[in-house]
C-alpha cells in the first residue's frame, strides 16, 4: 500500500507539472480570440468625446453609446488599432455590423476572402456573416462601428466563434461611395451614403460634409434615433434648447423627438458620420419634421 501511495503521489505531481508547463500555452494556442477589449464611455448626456490617449500596442474599442449607456437602438463604437494589432478572431454577430474607416487602413476577412478598407471607405455586414479585422500596416488605424439593433446588453456575449466558410460575393459588403473633396462641396449637407434600406440594411450610415457657414435643415425632429460622430473639423449641434460644439471624434446621440440641427460655424470644412437608427420603413414618410420654436408658455 505504501508503494502504491508513493506511486500515485508521484503520478499526480507529474500531471500537475506537465499541466502547469504546457496546459496554459496549449490553451492559448487552441482557444479562439473572441475576447474583445471593449470598454464603456462613462460620460453622461447626449454629447461625449472619445478617449484619445496614445495607443502604442494592441487594439482598443470604446463603446460611446449602447443599450447600457444611452443608445436603445444599437452600439456605437470607436476602435483604434496600433500597427500589427488584431481584433477578435473570426466571429459572427446576430446583428448588422458596420465599419467606417477614419484613419489609416483596415484589413478585414469576410468568410474566406480578405480586403483592405481605406480611409473614408466602409463595410456593411448583415447578421451571421463570419468576419474579423486587423491592422497590417506600420501606422495606426481608427474606425467607427455600429452594431444594430443591439440585441444583447452584453456586447461580448454576442460574439460567436466562427469557422471560415465561403461567403457568396463577399466584395458586395465593401462600400466605397465618393466623399466629395473640398472643391466639390456645395451649400448645405453633402452626403455620401454607405448603408441604407435600399442596399439591404435597416439603418442608414453616411458621411456628411459642410463648408464654413453651412449646415443642416431648420430645427426638426425624428421618430428614430439619429447620431452624429465628428471626423474632421468641428460642427455645432443644436440639441433641444442648448447649443454644443462637436469637435473631432466626439459623438452626439439624438433621441427620438428631440429638436435638433447642426451647422458649421468654423472657417474650415467639417465632416461627420450620420447614422439613422433605424431608417424609416415607409419611403413616403418624411425623415425630418420641422419644428417651430415659439416663446415661453403663458
Per-residue pLDDT tens, the chain, 298 aa: give them. Answer: 445 444 444 443 433 344 434 444 443 344 445 678 899 999 999 999 999 999 999 999 999 999 999 999 999 999 999 999 999 999 999 999 999 999 999 999 999 999 999 999 999 999 999 999 999 999 999 999 999 999 999 999 999 999 999 999 999 999 999 999 999 999 999 999 999 999 989 999 999 999 999 998 999 999 999 999 999 999 999 999 999 999 999 999 999 999 999 999 999 999 999 999 999 878 788 888 898 888 888 7
Please indicate, yes or no, if residue 222 is contained in any of the structural domains. yes
Q: Which three cell numbers stand for residue 142?
A: 481608427
**Cell numbers 424609416: residue:** 280
Range of the domain at 137: 38-175
Number of domains observed in the structure of the chain: 2
Residue-wise burial string across 146-160, b where 16 or more C-beta atoms lie within 10 A, e elsewhere: bbbbbeeeebeebbe
Does one domain contain both 208 and 154?
no
Q: Are residues 163 and 195 in the same domain?
A: no
The model scores a pTM over 0.85: yes
Write down which residue in 175, 198, 228 finishes a domain.
175
The sign of the dihedral angle between the CA atoms of 179, 181, 187, 188 is: positive
Q: Which pLDDT score, from 0 to 100, does residue 287 have?
A: 83
User: At 43, is the secondary structure helix, strand, or coil?
Assistant: coil
CATH number assigned to the domain comprising residue 194: 2.60.120.10
Q: State whether 129 and 238 are in the same domain.
A: no
159 and 227 belong to one structural domain: no
Give the contacts of 233 (CB within 8 A, at least 6 positions apart): 248, 264, 266, 268, 269, 270, 271
Same domain, 160 and 106: yes
Question: Tell me, what's the pLDDT at 25?
Answer: 43
Q: Note whether residue 23 is domain-resident.
A: no
Give the torsion sign (CA, 181, 187, 188, 193). negative
Amino acid at each position: 500500500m505504501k508503494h502504491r501511495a508513493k506511486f500515485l503521489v508521484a503520478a499526480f505531481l507529474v500531471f500537475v507539472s506537465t499541466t502547469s508547463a504546457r496546459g496554459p500555452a496549449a490553451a492559448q494556442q487552441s482557444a479562439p480570440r473572441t475576447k474583445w477589449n471593449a470598454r464603456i464611455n462613462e460620460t453622461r448626456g447626449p454629447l461625449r468625446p472619445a478617449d484619445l490617449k496614445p495607443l502604442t500596442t494592441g487594439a482598443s474599442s470604446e463603446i460611446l453609446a449602447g443599450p447600457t449607456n444611452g443608445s436603445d437602438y444599437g452600439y456605437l463604437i470607436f476602435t483604434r488599432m496600433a500597427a500589427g494589432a488584431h481584433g477578435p478572431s473570426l466571429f459572427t454577430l446576430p446583428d448588422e455590423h458596420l465599419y467606417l474607416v477614419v484613419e489609416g487602413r483596415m484589413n478585414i476577412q469576410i468568410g474566406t476572402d480578405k480586403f483592405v478598407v481605406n480611409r473614408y471607405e466602409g463595410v456593411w455586414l448583415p447578421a451571421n456573416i463570419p468576419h474579423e479585422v486587423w491592422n497590417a500596416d506600420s501606422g495606426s488605424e481608427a474606425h467607427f462601428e455600429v452594431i444594430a439593433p443591439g440585441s444583447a446588453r452584453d456586447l461580448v456575449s454576442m460574439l460567436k466563434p466562427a469557422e471560415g466558410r465561403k461567403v457568396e460575393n463577399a466584395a458586395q459588403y465593401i462600400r466605397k461611395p465618393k466623399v466629395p473633396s473640398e472643391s466639390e462641396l456645395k451649400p448645405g449637407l453633402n452626403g455620401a451614403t454607405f448603408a441604407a434600406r435600399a442596399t439591404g440594411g435597416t439603418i442608414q450610415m453616411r458621411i456628411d460634409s459642410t463648408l464654413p457657414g453651412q449646415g443642416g435643415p431648420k430645427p426638426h425632429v425624428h421618430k428614430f434615433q439619429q447620431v452624429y460622430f465628428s471626423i474632421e473639423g468641428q460642427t455645432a449641434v443644436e440639441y433641444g434648447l442648448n447649443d454644443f460644439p462637436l469637435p473631432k471624434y466626439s459623438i452626439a446621440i439624438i433621441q427620438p423627438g428631440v429638436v435638433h440641427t447642426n451647422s458649421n460655424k468654423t472657417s474650415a470644412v467639417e465632416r461627420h458620420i450620420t447614422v439613422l437608427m433605424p431608417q424609416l420603413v415607409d419611403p413616403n414618410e418624411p425623415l425630418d419634421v420641422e419644428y417651430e420654436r415659439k416663446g415661453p408658455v403663458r
